[in-house]
């Protein structure tokens, strides 16, 4: 006989049906109760309507099964299966196994049943692979990637973190726009090759360079490799080993030519950019440091009173780590126009010492170089400096310590290793007269 134990009243006067899920079935679901509105404020009507729910649900409990509303979750099934056997495998994967593999699989189930003669619904589902692996969208894969890669944004503030993750998220959006929002677990090598073909067509039309296209491929691979390694054991990323090659722009960013350097120098004279931006460009041109490294210098990083003035590219209150860290933490000599520009801002570029500062610098640089040297930007100075140092006769240790290349000394000792002879060579480099010769002319620049 139906009692009011199943009927409860809400504050708004409506009655609802409520039943507790038996303890033996709680391991199969995160829910503890099943609730259904009876859609009435009249108790007599509620008593009539509750009978239908009781008749539908209670028999399911008696059969050791869960009603639809307390459905078995894949995560729970997978977790239980991995406790009972080596790993969870859905029935579709099991069906593709060889005879020997099937025998091994069945033996695992027999061993479990020997110590667990009456497994519950979830345990049974896990043993037989009853549930197919649910689809995984790019949005879900990206969120998993962020959760699994928290170390990538350690030390970054909220805005920097958001900007960092956005670079990866854009790559997933580009793929979706070209190929559709498919289940990433079902993406094949052929799918990736089709995407590569689409990217190559865009390179051919000048939409972007091949190095950017390769980032679109490789960064998607990083996302899936991270997620698969952690949550889909044995599954390989379909992006692995696929890249775009054969384009002339492939490889490192090209240095600026003598004509382009002259264009930059003239462009600074007529540019309406703020003085800080112009000074940043002058310093970058003669040091090889990147724009953010210079923009985030603090007074303790600027050593204008030293016998050989220099700047320290290192962690400070504005940044926890320089890009890539390690050897990129370094001391860089200031000579020529770089020294003059730094003296104009002896305590650094404080206007950019905000969360939005790096973005403002990048936007300003992009605008300037897009007009003056299309296709090349501030980063090209780094490659110019590498060429100049190489042509000057500087050995690899000196060159690497200035540019922050790997396998070199750390920033705390970089200036100490630049001997008087090497410093004279560096100054001689700034006074050479012919850029096109073995010892290039940067006197007019620095």
Measured from the Cβ of residue 6, the count of other Cβ atoms closer than 10 Å reads 20
* Boundary of a domain, candidates 216, 231, 246: 231
Asked if 227 and 350 sit in the same domain, the reply is: no
Residue 327 covered by a domain: yes
Domain span holding position 153: 138-231
> Does 275 fall in a domain?
yes
Note the pLDDT of residue 205: 85
90 and 57 in a single domain? The answer is no
Same domain flag for 150 and 123: no
Q: Please indicate, yes or no, whether residues 331 and 265 belong to a single structural domain of this protein.
A: yes
Copy the structure tokens of residue 130: 């009853």
At residue 254, the pLDDT reads 73
Q: What is the pLDDT of residue 304?
A: 95
Residues 99 and 142 reside in one and the same domain: no
pTM: 0.53
Q: Looking at residue 27, what is its pLDDT?
A: 62
Asked whether residue 281 falls in the same domain as residue 427, the answer is yes
The answer to whether residue 243 is domain-embedded is no
97 plus 206 within the same structural domain: no
Confidence at residue 89, expressed as pLDDT on a 0 to 100 scale: 81
Domain boundary among 191, 216, 231: 231
CA dihedral 58, 60, 65, 68 (to 10 degrees): -100
Separation between Cα atoms, residue 178 and residue 17, nearest integer Å: 49
pLDDT value, residue 400: 66
Please check whether residues 55 and 106 belong to one and the same domain.
Answer: no
63 and 80 co-located in one domain: no
Contacts of 15-20 spanning 24+ positions with Cβ under 8 A: 15/40, 15/41, 15/43, 15/46, 17/49, 17/50, 17/53, 17/54, 19/53, 19/54, 19/57, 19/58
335 and 186 within one domain: no
- The pLDDT value given to residue 193: 96
Q: Would you say residue 59 lies in a domain?
A: yes
Our count of domains for the chain comes to 4
Given this model, what pLDDT does residue 326 score?
A: 63
Whichever domain contains 273, its CATH number is 1.10.443.10
Residues 374 and 294 in one domain: yes
Residues of the chain with pLDDT under 70: 1-4, 24-30, 59-71, 248-253, 323-327, 395-401, 404-446
The whole-number pLDDT of residue 351 equals: 93
Ramachandran angles phi, psi of 37, nearest 5°: -70, 140
Is residue 390, in this structure, part of any structural domain at all? Answer: yes
């Amino acid at each position: 006989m139906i009692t009011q134990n199943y009927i409860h009243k809400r504050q708004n006067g409506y009655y609802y049906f409520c039943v507790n899920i038996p303890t033996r079935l709680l391991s199969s679901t995160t829910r503890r109760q099943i609730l259904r509105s009876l859609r009435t404020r009249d108790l007599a009507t509620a008593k009539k309507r509750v009978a239908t729910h009781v008749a539908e649900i209670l028999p399911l409990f008696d059969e050791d099964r869960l009603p639809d509303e307390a459905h078995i979750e894949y995560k729970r099934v997978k977790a239980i299966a991995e406790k009972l056997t080596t790993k969870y495998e859905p029935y579709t994967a099991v069906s593709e196994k060889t005879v020997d593999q099937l025998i091994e699989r069945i033996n695992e189930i027999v061993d479990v049943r020997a110590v667990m003669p009456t497994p519950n619904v979830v345990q049974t589902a896990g043993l037989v692979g009853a549930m197919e692996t649910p689809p995984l969208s790019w949005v879900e894969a990206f969120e998993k990637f962020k959760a699994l890669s928290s170390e990538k944004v350690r030390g970054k503030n909220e805005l920097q973190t958001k900007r960092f993750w956005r670079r990866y998220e854009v790559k997933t959006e580009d793929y979706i726009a070209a190929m559709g929002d498919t289940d990433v677990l079902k993406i094949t090598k052929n799918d990736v090759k089709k995407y590569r073909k689409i990217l190559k067509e865009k390179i051919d039309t000048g939409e972007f360079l091949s190095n950017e296209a390769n980032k679109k491929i490789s960064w998607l691979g990083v996302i899936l490799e991270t997620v698969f390694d952690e949550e889909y054991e044995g599954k390989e990323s379909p992006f692995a080993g696929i890249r775009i090659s054969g384009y002339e722009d492939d490889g490192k960013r090209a240095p600026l030519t003598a004509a382009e350097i002259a264009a930059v120098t003239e462009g600074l004279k007529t540019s309406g950019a703020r003085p800080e931006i112009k000074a940043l460009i002058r310093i970058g041109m003669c040091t090889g440091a990147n724009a953010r490294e210079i923009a985030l210098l603090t007074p303790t990083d600027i050593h204008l009173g030293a016998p050989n003035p220099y700047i320290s590219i290192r962690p400070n209150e504005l940044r926890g780590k320089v890009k890539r860290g390690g050897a990129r933490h370094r001391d860089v000599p200031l000579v020529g126009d770089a020294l003059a520009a730094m003296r104009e801002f002896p305590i650094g570029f404080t206007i950019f010492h905000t969360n939005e500062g790096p973005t403002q610098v990048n936007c300003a640089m992009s605008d300037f170089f897009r007009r003056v040297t299309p296709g090349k930007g501030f980063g090209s100075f780094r490659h110019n400096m590498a060429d100049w140092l190489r042509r000057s006769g500087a050995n690899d240790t000196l060159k690497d310590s200035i540019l922050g290349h790997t396998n070199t000394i750390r920033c705390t000792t970089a200036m100490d290793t630049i001997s008087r002879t090497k410093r004279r060579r560096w100054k001689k480099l700034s006074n050479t007269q012919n850029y096109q010769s073995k010892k290039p002319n940067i006197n007019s620049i620095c």
